[in-house]
Structure 1
Amino acid sequence: MNISGGKQQQQPTTGTITSQLGGVVNYAIFSFWLFISFAGWIIALSCLSALQRYENNSGLSVDGGSGWAIKSNYPALNSGKVFRFDWFVVFYQFVLSFLVVIATVSRVLPQARISICGYLAIGAVLTILSADRLYNLSHFHVSKAYYSSSRGAFAGYLLSATSDFAMLYMAGLSPPAP
C-alpha cells in the first residue's frame, strides 16, 4: 500500500472477472445463481402484482372481523397496506441483485465481499419471511386466482431466498482483497 502525504491510495484492481470468484467454474455457478435470483424476482413481482390487484378489486381485508387479514393475525388493514412488507422485499431483492452484478462486473467483489455477504444475508431472511407470509395466506381459499397468485409469489420468494444463500456462500469464498 502506498502512503504519500498521510493519505492511503488504493491499489488498482487487477485480474479478470472470473478470477475474483476463484475461476471459470465458480464464476459459471455464481452466474447461474444470479440468474435464478432474477427469475425468482420476476416470478414474485408478477404474482404479487396479481395478488395486489385481486386484493384491491375485492377489498377482502376491509370487511371487518371476517376478513382474511384478520384471520391471518394481521391488523385490520386497508387494501393498499396488506402487502406493503412484501413489496418492500421485492424492491430490496431487485436492488440487491443489481448490486451483486455491479460488484462482480466492476471487479470489486473481493474488496466488498463482507458488505455484499451482509446484504445477501439480509435479503435471504427477508425473502424467507415473505415466503412464509404468502404460504400462510394461500391457505385462505378465497378463489382459485388468489390461491395461484399467492403460491406463485411464494415460489418466487423461495427461489430468491435459495439463490441468496447460494450467492452468499460463493461470495464468502471469494479470495480476499490483496
Structure 2
Amino acid sequence: MPPSVDHIRFVTEAYLACHPDERDSLTVLFAALTDADDPTNRKTFPAHVTCSAIVINGARHVLHIVHRASGKLLAPGGHNEPDDGHLRDAALRELHEGAGIPPNAVVPLSGFEDVPLDIDVHTIDANPSKDEPTHHHVDFRWVFLLGAEHPVTLQNKEVDGYEWRPFTSAASPTVRSKLALLP
C-alpha cells in the first residue's frame, strides 16, 4: 500500500517544525493532500509526491546520478510505487534501483530518521508522449550515510553516470544549504 495521506501529512508537519519558513512553498503539496486522488500516484495532476535519497559517503561527498531522460545530475530518486509503505521506503527503493546500493548499506543520518532533509517543489514539463501535462513534483529528500563503501551499479535504462560531490557542490541549492548546516 502506498504512503497514506496521513503519513505524508505527519512527515510534512515534522519537517515544517524544523523549517517553519518553508510552509508557503508547500502550498502545492497541501492542495494535493486535500484532493481525492492519491498524491503518490505518478498520474495525479497537477502535483504528486516523489522521493529521493541524499547519500553521504565517508569522505562527506554526496552521490549524484545522471538521469538519461533529462541529462541532469540529481540525487537518486523517483516516483512512489504501490508497495512503498512509507516515503523513506520509496527513497531507499529508488536508491537501490538507480544506483545499486541496497537499503542495508545505508543508515538514516542521526536526527533524520523520520523527517527528510529537504522537501522541494519543482515543475516538470509536459510530456505528450506519456500524456502528461506540465505538473509539479513534491520531492521528499531523505538523507542517509553509506555504512561502508559500496560500489555504485547503475541502472543503465535510466541512468548514464554518477559522481560523488562535496557538500558545497551538491546540485540542489536547498540541499547544499542544509548540508552546510550539518556538524
Same fold at TM > 0.5: no
Shorter-chain TM-score: what band? under 0.3
Larger Rg: 1
Q: TM-score when scaled to structure 2?
A: 0.26
TM-score, length of structure 1 as denominator length? 0.27
Structure number with higher relative contact order (C-alpha < 8 Å, ≥ 6 residues apart): 1
Structure holding more strand per residue? 2
